[in-house]
């Protein structure tokens, strides 16, 4: 991990197709990598994370829409397990 950076996992459940695509593009533009259809991970400084959270808050989410941002430490990420698609693995995605 680069100095002062934190790994961040962002997952979302957004019903509107265009807004869901917009959120995905925002996350990609911010340097996060898609690991599932509605899940992205990457490294950010605390300032970058605050900026991302502000951008995401400005999106017009519906009443049942949700975006979750989880900080993840390297130790926890190393315990990651992937199950499915014929793969089984441990460690960071």
29 is in an annotated binding site: no
Total residue count of the chain as it appears in this document: 93
Report the SS3 class of residue 60: coil
Asked if 5 and 41 count as a contact pair (C-beta separation under 8 A), the reply is no
Tokens of 7: 């790994």
Binding residues: 13
The annotation places the binding site for Mg(2+) at 13
């Amino acid at each position: 991990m680069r100095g002062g950076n934190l790994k961040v996992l962002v997952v979302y459940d957004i019903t509107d197709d265009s807004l869901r695509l917009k959120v995905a593009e925002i996350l990609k533009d911010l340097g996060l990598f898609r690991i599932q259809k509605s899940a992205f991970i990457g490294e950010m400084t605390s300032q970058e994370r605050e900026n991302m959270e502000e951008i995401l808050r400005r999106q017009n989410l519906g009443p049942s829409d949700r975006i979750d941002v989880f900080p993840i430490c390297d130790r926890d990420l190393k315990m990651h397990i992937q199950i499915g698609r014929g793969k089984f693995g441990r460690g960071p995605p």
